[in-house]
Chains A and B, each alone.
Chain A
Amino acid sequence: MKIDLWILGFSLVTVGVTLWMGFWAAGKSRTASDFFVAGRGVSVGWNASAISGEYLSAASFMGIAGMVMSSGYDALWYPVCYACGYLFLLLFIAGPLRRFGAYTIPDFAEGRYDSPVFRKIAVVFVLFIGFFYTMPQMKGAGTTLAYIFPGLPYWVGVVLVGAVITFNVALGGMKGITLVQAFQYWVKMFAIAVPVFVLMAVYGHYGRQLGVNGADPAGIPAEARKPLPAKAPSDAAWSQPFGPLTTKAVAASTAGPIYQGPMVTNRFPLFADLRSAAHVAALKTGLAQAPLAVFDGSPVPVGQLLYNYASAQVLANLLDPSPAMTLELAQSLEGATLSPPPSTGGHPDPSTSVRILKGLLDSAGVTVVRDGSRFLAFPTRDAVVRKLDSRPYALLYTYSLIMALVCGTAGLPHILVRFYTNPDGVAAKRTTMWVMILIGVFYVFPPVFGVIGRNLMPELYAGVGAKGTDKIVLELPRILNERYGVLGSVLSGVTCAGAFAAFMSTFSGLLVSMTGALAHDVYGRILRPGSSAAERMRMFKVFAWLIGGVATLLGCFVEPLQINFMVGQAFAIAAASYFPLLFMSVWWRGMTMRGAATGMLGGGVAAVIAVSVTNFSDLGWIPLKAFWIEHPLLRILCEQPAIWAVPGAIALMVLISKATRREVPADIRMKMLVLHAPEALGLKQEYIREHEAGH
């Protein structure tokens, strides 16, 4: 495959404009204050676009579509919770934090508890969450470059993009970022919306594309849907809640044929379906890649239970039950022997046998497809019985995911910093309203890519890493080339440009907040408190290169993990550390420094350990697969720890604070007033005066 010049061209223009804006803005940013929080004087429109631009990461732009395509319905929780999380931030945290006025979260922590110790803990989490969040951005970068330059190794793309963005940040600081990110929001919005409308106009609208899933395969025209490969989830699992995303952990534990006695479910008439020729054909095309076994009448070695259930004769009867089947036949299947089909004849009640067999096959998770004179047996995806068993787990997973995403948004360091760039509280609220609208509109579009991609580009299901479903947004518009010449390449170029805007803006924002934390908090406050502004500026650049380098290195390792999955984990860590800190500090005056620090450290570290263990075992670095199979519940709680880590952190905060009640800051009432009273009352200035007088 050669390089498509349209795609390359659009991508280069985006990168070029971003870099140029960075340079241009660098000439304008002079003071240290400019460098860190963009001088606080940014208008509502610019700021709302910039926040949205920073918020819409590679996860939003590429990851959601990829995950909707690979997992279906459950992945919709991601965009919804990203948006709801922002609302949560608005309701509980944004206003008070703004009134309190500080550059960074570590500043807030120190101001609220009068303790420099806390600053150190807070900085550690800026870095933790930041690195976890940069990894998916890097995966997005590597995937995009591997798409634009076919054959380019994944890691080269990561290193290239990492270097360019780091260079840009080291030059521009945040003033540049505000302008660049506002611009990039509109690039992303345009890049996701326009191809969606064109694709829907050509291939059918969102609802129609969805309707194809689960419809009678015979009634679907060939151009509306290509056959699904073996690795794709079935229609039922894909379009319904509690599908592969949330049941993965449990499904892994029941993988392999496990039979626990005859079990008949009439809810899902699997074999009635099998008998319709159209359905058999659909199953065959969908599943024909790797049969567990081929039964052609000759004896099959006994090994898996599956083998015990099926023989050519049995299946012939099952699919076409004209010759009478014997009860003995069915019973013999329960034993461990597989013999050539026993002779038929004798018992007059075929329906009983069929019923028992159905139950056996169902509970073994076997699907049988007739192929001429042979019968192919496949493992049934979402075997009916398993699906029923795993639903409570799936519900738990769903809630844990929701909690991580909603609370995690409220604790993302690079988003919170942006609230300080508004001139006043009213502007901050108006900005937030606009952000809600801007990101809400955006989030309707990415799932459409996933849905259309399932129908028209199912071959991506077979790909792994950078070649998998995460690149659907980039590649899908290209199918238009079949009908309208170069249009597909142009639109694919547009979405690539959007992807560049996505991971560049988020990576820049993260880099600024992480570097800011190191330069401003660690260097400026802890290591060299007396350093001059010029020295801090110089250190900002050094740290930018350092952090950028580490993030790039980490990005090289995560190719096998899905973009959105990693973001979910970054959010879980934020949810268990920053969110309880901010929420409780703002609304409960009984919090003490020790309580806050213990809770944040405890919740955050527990979440980091849990998700790291999951990731390491998924990457194959630690052997835990067998353990997960035995303990599916633990697997869910580790993979998505928010549901226990967030309440745990809050409980820890309350307990320790109660135990250290005497340490509640003496001027807590004044602090609370500053946090909650309208800014027009001028309490902030009064507070600063008193504070300076008191020290």
Chain B
Amino acid sequence: MQTPDSPQGDLVHSEAFLHSLMRRQLRLSVFCAALFLVMLIGLPLLNYHFPEWMSVRVLGGFTLSWFLLGIGVFPAVWFIAWFFIRRSMALEREEIAEVARTAQRGR
């Protein structure tokens, strides 16, 4: 199935490689998604169960809940995006390095 001059050897096409590839990527994505899902699911719950706390006025008139949702969410989202992008690029580099290592060993 592989072309004989394939530089990566067999590793790339092995079931194990694909499996670990997808699992690592999915784990990273799910971890990051969990971070912001906690915000999206948690905030309505806080509003629901602790309306008094969430309507405390902060910073010259905002209710706490308004401040979190209207302003506070965005930096959090940027942080998650930044973290994900950094990790996923590192992940790609690791994968390429791993393939290169195996190819060398195979020769």
Contact = CB atoms under 8 A, between A and B. Distances in A.
Interface of A: 73, 76-77, 80-81, 83-84, 87-88, 90-92, 95, 205-212, 239-242, 391, 395, 398-399, 402, 406, 425-426, 429-430, 432-433, 436-437, 440-441, 443-444, 447, 587, 669-670, 672-673, 676-678, 680-681, 683, 686, 689-690
B65 A73 contact: yes
10 contacts: A73-B63, A87-B77, A211-B60, A239-B66, A240-B55, A241-B47, A241-B65, A441-B74, A447-B70, A680-B96
Contacts of B32: 87, 91
Given A80-B69, A436-B81, A680 B44 contact: no
Given A432-B81, A587-B22, A676-B18, 10 more contacts: A73-B66, A80-B69, A95-B88, A242-B48, A406-B40, A429-B89, A433-B85, A444-B71, A672-B22, A677-B95
B22 A91 contact: no
B29 A83 contact: no
A276 B47 CA distance: 29
A76 B66 contact: yes
Contact of B85 (A430, A676, A680, A683): A430
Contacts of B89: 426, 429
A19 to B, nearest CB: 33
Contacts of B48: 241-242, 391, 395
B44 A210 contact: no
Contacts of A87: 32, 36, 77, 80-81
B85 A429 contact: yes
Interface residues of B, number: 54
A73 B63 CA distance: 10
A77 to B, nearest CB: 7
A205 B96 contact: no
B85 A669 contact: no
Interface string B13-47: 10100100110011001001100100111001001
Say what secondary structure dominates the interface of chain B: helix
Contacts of A437: 78
Contact of B60 (A81, A205, A444, A587): A205
A673 B18 contact: yes
Given A92-B29, A429-B88, A437-B78, A676 B22 contact: yes
Nearest to A439: B74
A240 B63 contact: yes
B104 interface: no
Contacts of A205: 60
B61 interface: yes
A164 B88 CA distance: 43
A432 B85 contact: yes
A264 B62 CA distance: 31
Contacts of B65: 73, 240-241
Contacts of B41: 399
B90 to A, nearest CB: 11
Interface centre among A81, A95, A676, A686 (most CB of B within 10 A): A676
A230 to B, nearest CB: 25
A32 B27 CA distance: 39
Given A207-B59, A587-B26, A673 B36 contact: no
Contact of A88 (B33, B59, B62, B66): B33
A90 to B, nearest CB: 6
B96 A681 contact: yes
A209 B61 CA distance: 7
Contacts of A678: 92-93, 95-96
Nearest to B21: A676
Contacts of A399: 41, 44
A399 B48 CA distance: 12
Contacts of B39: 84
B101 interface: no
Contacts of A690: 1
A91 B74 contact: no
Given A242-B47, A436-B78, A90 B84 contact: yes
Contacts of B36: 84, 87-88
A207 B70 contact: no
Nearest to A79: B70
B95 to A, nearest CB: 5
A683 B12 contact: yes
A406 B37 CA distance: 10
B13 A241 contact: no
Given A239-B63, A443-B74, A669 B18 contact: yes
A425 B77 CA distance: 21
A92 B99 CA distance: 24
Contacts of A398: 44
In the A-B complex, the 5 residue pairs with the closest CB atoms: A211-B61, A241-B47, A207-B60, A207-B61, A440-B74
B7 to A, nearest CB: 9
A84 B40 contact: yes
A84 B79 CA distance: 12
Given A80-B69, A210-B62, A440-B77, A681 B29 contact: no
Interface string B81-107: 110110011001101100100000000
